Amino acid sequence: MQHELQVFTGPIKNQEGKTVLAGGKTFSDKDLLGMNFFIAGVQGAIPE
């Protein structure tokens, strides 16, 4: 039996409060590698 931990499972919102991952959904590896935002509650900004 294989067990996998899904840390990034929705709902997840970005700093502006916009839902970026719907409830019950999970980010793929490709999605995680392409993240260009912080989630709600994280302070700071991503350098341009």
- The per-residue pLDDT for 8 is 84
- What distance lies between CA 23 and its chain's CA centroid? 11
Look at residue 1 and tell me whether its pLDDT is greater than 90.
no
Average pLDDT taken over every residue of the chain: 89
Question: Looking at the predicted structure, is the pLDDT value of residue 4 above 90?
Answer: no
Q: What is the pLDDT of residue 25?
A: 95
Q: Has residue 3 got a pLDDT over 80? A: no
| Distance, CA of 46 to chain centre | 15
Predicted TM-score (pTM) of this structure = 0.74
Q: What is the mean pLDDT of residues 18-29?
A: 94
pLDDT given for residue 14 in this prediction: 94
End-to-end CA distance of the chain: 43
